[in-house]
């Protein structure tokens, strides 16, 4: 849309940086630096950083490789799982190709079974995620954090010291805080940028291997946005304020974000794990037990795989109030059973407890439903 074209070029720069990191990954391998691939925000990346490994999210959000994946996987499976596997099997993801080790997690039954097949062509370490966020679950998870550290040490032949972990915690916390400062800009009304542009900045920054540099780039970007804020607020004007929740957004599912803003809304927050959920909590730097501190931070991520999923509801509650949201659009993927079942509770929470509008859209990685999505989302925006 025209407004987006007039905003600072930094938004497009982050998109280009994401593409350029393919070459950066190749350079890292040529330098002999370890590269660890991940699929989920539950992976405590500080342990990888503590051994000077680069960490990168792997390709999983396009329908390009799904037909190949369906040769081995059920067609009714979640598109994110099929896409992840297809990219790996086809060797079409440079990050996967250059990764020495993939750190996976048992966030759902489909993924953990898919990892068994993926292990045929890449070393995989699977973290066993508890399904309940209680005392027993925390004990299990802390053990998994320690087990990951031991796996990294044995696989790469290194020693990971607690001092190195503490340094990594400080660096990652600084990056999280810088990202949160970008998110907080959307509390302004009118907003100083479109939400989809904010998403491109945050998502693009996750592909910077140098965490210290990433934090600095985010802070520089915040300053540039503030310098342009008054002019951009005048162009954008007041719009219905939307929070996007649900499954990870990126790649093909960015169509939902584009439609929301093309039909007159503005996304003031992305609750999902490619949004604020990945940055929301900092690791406690004062805890003398670094493994407990890491385990506690990642254990409290809100995700529909947990039962009960209290932390997702708490985060959504805070975001609705702090960002003065008019509605929540809950985007789920076909075949993602936990998030799809949870839409009932999220919808009731939004309409009955928070008194705002709620819309659930279920989609996949194709473009076939864009017309239907536009009709439904436009009706929501017009009502608001």
The full 3-state SS of 168-198, as one line of letters, equals: HHHHHHHHHHHHHHHHHHHHCCCCCCCHHHH
Would residue 218 count as lying in a domain?
A: no
Would residue 126 count as lying in a domain?
A: yes
**C-alpha 329: how far from its chain's center?**
17
- 187: closest CA among 319, 329, 328, 358? 319
Residues 6+ apart with CB under 8 A from 16: none
- 93: closest CA among 38, 28, 46? 38
Other C-beta atoms within 10 Å of 221: how many?
24
H or E stretch including 334? none
CATH code at position 121: 3.40.50.11890
Q: Are 311 and 301 in contact (CB under 8 A)?
A: yes
Instruction: Provide the pLDDT confidence category of residue 205 given band limits of 50, 70 and 90.
Output: confident
Return the ∠ at Cα 216 (arms to 215 and 220), rounded to 5°. 120
Would residue 354 count as lying in a domain?
A: no
Token duo for residue 250: 């990126």
pLDDT digits (tens, 9 = 90+) for 336-347: 999 999 999 999
Higher pLDDT, 105 or 13: 105
Regarding beta strands 101-105 and 35-38, do their DSSP bridges make them parallel or antiparallel, or are they unpaired? parallel
> To the nearest whole number, what is the mean pLDDT of the chain?
93
CA-to-CA dists, residue 94 to 16, 37, 99, angstroms: 16, 11, 8
Would residue 254 count as lying in a domain?
A: no
What was the pLDDT predicted at 2? 41
- 263: closest CA among 145, 376, 169? 376
How many structural domains compose the chain?
A: 1
Token duo for residue 320: 């609705």
Phi, psi of 121 (to 5 degrees): -130, 15
Would residue 102 count as lying in a domain?
A: yes
pTM over 0.75? The answer is yes
**What is the chain's length?**
384
pLDDT digits (tens, 9 = 90+) for 8-40: 455 555 556 656 777 888 888 889 999 999 999
Token duo for residue 375: 């009709």
Instruction: Provide the pLDDT confidence category of residue 356 given band limits of 50, 70 and 90.
Output: very high
Would residue 69 count as lying in a domain?
A: yes
CA-to-CA dists, residue 16 to 19, 25, 137, 204, angstroms: 5, 15, 40, 8
The span from the CA of 70 to the CA of 61, in Å, is 15
Residue 354 has pLDDT above 60, yes or no: yes
The span from the CA of 39 to the CA of 53, in Å, is 16
Token duo for residue 261: 């803003």
Would residue 358 count as lying in a domain?
A: no
As beta bridge partners, residue 54 has 35
Other C-beta atoms within 10 Å of 315: how many?
20
Mean pLDDT of 227-232: 95
Phi, psi of 191 (to 5 degrees): -75, 155
The span from the CA of 221 to the CA of 329, in Å, is 27
Domain with 58, as residue range(s), is 2-161
What was the pLDDT predicted at 13? 55
Would residue 95 count as lying in a domain?
A: yes
């Amino acid at each position: 849309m025209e407004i987006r074209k007039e905003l600072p070029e930094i938004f497009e720069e982050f998109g280009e940086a994401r593409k350029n990191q393919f070459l950066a990954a190749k350079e890292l391998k040529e330098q002999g630096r370890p590269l660890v691939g991940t699929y989920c925000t539950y992976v405590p990346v500080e342990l990888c950083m503590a051994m000077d490994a680069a960490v990168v999210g792997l390709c999983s959000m396009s329908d390009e490789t799904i037909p190949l994946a369906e040769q081995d996987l059920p067609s009714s499976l979640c598109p994110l799982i099929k896409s992840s596997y297809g990219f790996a099997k086809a060797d079409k993801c440079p990050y996967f190709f250059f990764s020495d080790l993939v750190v996976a997690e048992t966030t759902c039954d489909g993924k953990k079974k898919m990892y068994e097949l993926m292990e045929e062509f890449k070393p995989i370490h699977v973290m066993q995620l508890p399904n309940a966020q209680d005392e027993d679950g925390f004990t299990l998870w802390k053990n998994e954090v320690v087990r990951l550290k031991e796996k990294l040490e044995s696989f790469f032949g290194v020693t990971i010291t607690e001092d190195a972990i503490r340094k990594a915690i400080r660096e990652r916390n600084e990056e999280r805080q810088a990202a949160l400062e970008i998110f907080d800009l959307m509390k302004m009304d009118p907003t100083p940028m479109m939400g989809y542009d904010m998403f491109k900045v945050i998502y693009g920054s996750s592909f910077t291997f140098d965490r210290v540099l990433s934090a600095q780039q985010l802070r520089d970007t915040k300053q540039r946005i503030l310098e342009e804020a008054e002019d951009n607020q005048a162009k954008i004007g007041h719009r219905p304020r939307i929070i996007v929740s649900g499954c990870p957004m990126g790649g093909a599912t960015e169509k939902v974000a584009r439609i929301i803003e093309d039909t007159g809304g503005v996304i003031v927050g992305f609750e999902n794990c490619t949004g604020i959920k990945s940055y929301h909590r900092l690791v406690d730097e004062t805890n003398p037990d670094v493994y407990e501190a890491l385990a506690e931070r990642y254990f409290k991520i809100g995700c529909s795989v947990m039962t009960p999923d209290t932390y997702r509801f708490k985060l959504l509650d805070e975001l609705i109030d702090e960002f003065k949201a008019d509605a929540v659009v809950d985007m789920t993927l076909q075949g993602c059973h936990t998030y799809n079942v949870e839409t009932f509770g999220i919808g009731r929470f939004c309409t009955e407890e928070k008194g705002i509008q709620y819309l659930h859209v279920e989609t996949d990685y194709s473009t076939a439903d864009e017309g239907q999505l536009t009709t439904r989302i436009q009706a929501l925006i017009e009502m608001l």
